[in-house]
Amino acid sequence: MSDPVQPAETPDSPPVALIIGAVAVTLLLASLGQTIVSAALPVIVGQLGGLEHLTWVVIAYLLSSTVVAPIYGKLGDLFGRKIVLQVAIVIFLAGAVLSAMATNMNFLIIARAVQGLGGGGLIVVAMTVVADIIPPRQRGKVQGLFGAVFGVSTVIGPLLGGFIVEHFSWQWIFLINLPLGILALAVIAIALKPRGVRVKHSIDYWGFVLLSGGLTAFVLATSLGGNTWGWFSPQIIGLLVFAIGTLAGFVWTEARAAEPVLPLSLFKINTFALTSVISFFVGMAMFGSITFLPMYLQLAKGVSPMDSALQLVPMMVGMIGTSMLSGFFMTRTGRYKRLPQLSTLVLTIGCLLLATMQLDTPAWAIAIYMFLVGAGIGPVNSVSITATQNAVPRAVVGAATAGNTLFRQIGGSIGVSIFGAIFASGLASHLSAVLPEGADVGTGSFSTQAVASLPEPVQALVLEAFASALHPVFFTAAGVSILAFGLSFFLEELPLATTLRKEPEAEIDAEEQASAALVGAPASVRG
């Protein structure tokens, strides 16, 4: 027997439109928090010092936002989306203010970690709010809009950061969040209704602790491996062993918890399991491309950092266009399976074309390659969230959304680390093959200035080696993309529901509801 339904609200009704606007602002805040800082780092280091801790300004935000994502998802399921989203915004803004007040690098790193604690919640809870107010079939175009927000932040973040540090002080990179965050808080307070049902909860404290510890160790290992410490150093091996042990303890705990942070039964649902793995692989390809394309443009093509950000616009256009088109397609047809199949194939082709780039590859060809990569990435995020929210019981929709997001972020972290190791190894190999014995070009500080200072014959050899070292990076990205393409054929397609289900009035037991959905509940229950 299906759950009772209520009339679907449309995105055009005023309250829903207000909420979607506020949610889009919160997502923009969180995504800009990841990208806007990069252009300001040299200026920040110049004032605060602490060059050796430079990467931690980025890692601290990435780490804390990744770790708390599944926790926010579960808290939203337990206590309602409104209060949890408001708390996340307040924490994010507090971290932004603390970052602007930083007087040394250690202070800034701690403040960025606080900001990430809020940022992780903004992404997960904001996307889950949509599941509470819009039926699955209409959800597609909204998730497509949110995908466009992420695409815009990829390019706008570095450009905005560069503009601010050029015309104002670097503190405004953080303070610019305040008016937008306060506006989002006000709109959410007015338009979003709190949960009307009071539910007795059993909080999985051990699950929170073990998941946080395991993910922290894992993200640190993938972020620092090959950079701060070697992959086979005692520090990295110790972090990985700790992560594996802690996450194994988490699985054991979740199997016995009354209301687990991430119900293990979710992994028995075809849609959740496959979209999570597909998101993982696409995350690897996406973050790898975004990381190494600016390097190619700046070093091989000799463009400035600002110009290299501008030349990422074709990727952004592809990402935004296909994200929104896929959303409208899902809303119109109620189906989604063909979208990840087609998009991951396009992503594979784009990555293979990037792997053919040479020093003399024309700018128009690179723009086409980047457009294809963006077009391949765009639909996956919106399809994954919409399909997952349609397939799982409503009591665990927050945890499922968080799990999907978590896999994409972990995929990005691993992708950057693996691709970085492949690039460094390839560059060293190519340089040793083309340079005279004993020559040293300082690859540890590989930069435009370092290359420009080399004698012209050596400079040409180094740039050729650099371009060649990028080929296996993009071939690897194509490899993981083709894995995602193959998996997409096994994705179960459940027609997107056209109505919302009411909040259950009885006490919610997330694990029992998820299990019930697996043993024969009709599709309408899962919709």
Question: Do residues 522 and 462 both lie within one domain?
Answer: yes
Question: Do residues 172 and 239 both lie within one domain?
Answer: no
Angle between helices 363-391 and 105-133 (to 10 degrees): 60
Total domains, the chain: 2
Q: What are the start-end ranges of the H helices in 192-269?
A: 205-224, 234-254
Domain's final residue, options 256, 290, 322: 256
Question: CA-to-CA distance for 227 and 311, rounded, in angstroms?
Answer: 27
Question: Do residues 195 and 53 both lie within one domain?
Answer: yes
Digitized pLDDT (tens) for each residue of the chain, 527 residues in all:
334 334 444 444 446 777 777 777 777 877 777 777 766 766 777 677 665 566 677 778 877 887 787 788 777 777 777 888 889 999 999 998 998 888 888 888 889 889 888 888 887 777 777 777 777 667 667 777 777 777 677 777 777 777 777 778 788 888 888 888 888 888 788 777 765 554 555 667 787 788 888 888 887 787 777 667 777 888 888 888 998 998 899 889 888 877 777 788 888 888 888 998 998 898 888 876 777 777 677 676 666 666 666 777 888 888 888 888 888 888 888 788 888 899 999 999 999 998 888 877 888 888 899 899 988 988 887 788 888 878 888 777 777 877 887 888 788 777 777 787 777 777 777 777 666 555 554 444 455 555 666 666 666 777 777 777 788 888 999 999 999 999 999 988 887 766 655 544 333 344 444 444 443 444 333 43
Domain's final residue, options 236, 256, 276: 256
Those residues with Cβ within 8 angstroms of residue 423's Cβ, 6 or more apart along the chain or in another chain: 292, 469, 470, 472, 473
Question: Do residues 454 and 351 both lie within one domain?
Answer: yes
Evaluate whether 9 touches 192 at the Cβ level (below 8 Å). Answer: no
Question: Do residues 311 and 349 both lie within one domain?
Answer: yes
Question: CA-to-CA distance for 493 and 424, rounded, in angstroms?
Answer: 41
Question: Do residues 222 and 307 both lie within one domain?
Answer: no
Question: Do residues 29 and 101 both lie within one domain?
Answer: yes
Q: Is residue 238 part of a domain?
A: yes
Q: What are the start-end ranges of the H helices in 355-436?
A: 363-391, 397-434
CATH code, 295: 1.20.1250.20
Q: Is residue 1 part of a domain?
A: no
Question: Do residues 271 and 239 both lie within one domain?
Answer: no
User: Dihedral, CA atoms, 135, 141, 144, 148, nearest 10 degrees?
Assistant: -130
Closest CA to 137 of 10, 273, 308: 10
Question: Do residues 28 and 166 both lie within one domain?
Answer: yes
Per the listing, tokens 């209704």 go with 193
Q: Is residue 378 part of a domain?
A: yes
User: And the tokens for 308?
Assistant: 């290299």
Q: Is residue 3 part of a domain?
A: no
Measured CA to CA in angstroms, residue 276 lies from 51, 143, 160 at distances of: 37, 16, 31
Which pTM does this prediction carry?
0.74
Range of the domain at 407: 10-204+257-436+444-526
User: And the tokens for 309?
Assistant: 């950000």
Q: Is residue 5 part of a domain?
A: no
Domain's final residue, options 240, 256, 272: 256
At 206, give phi and psi (nearest 5°). -65, -35
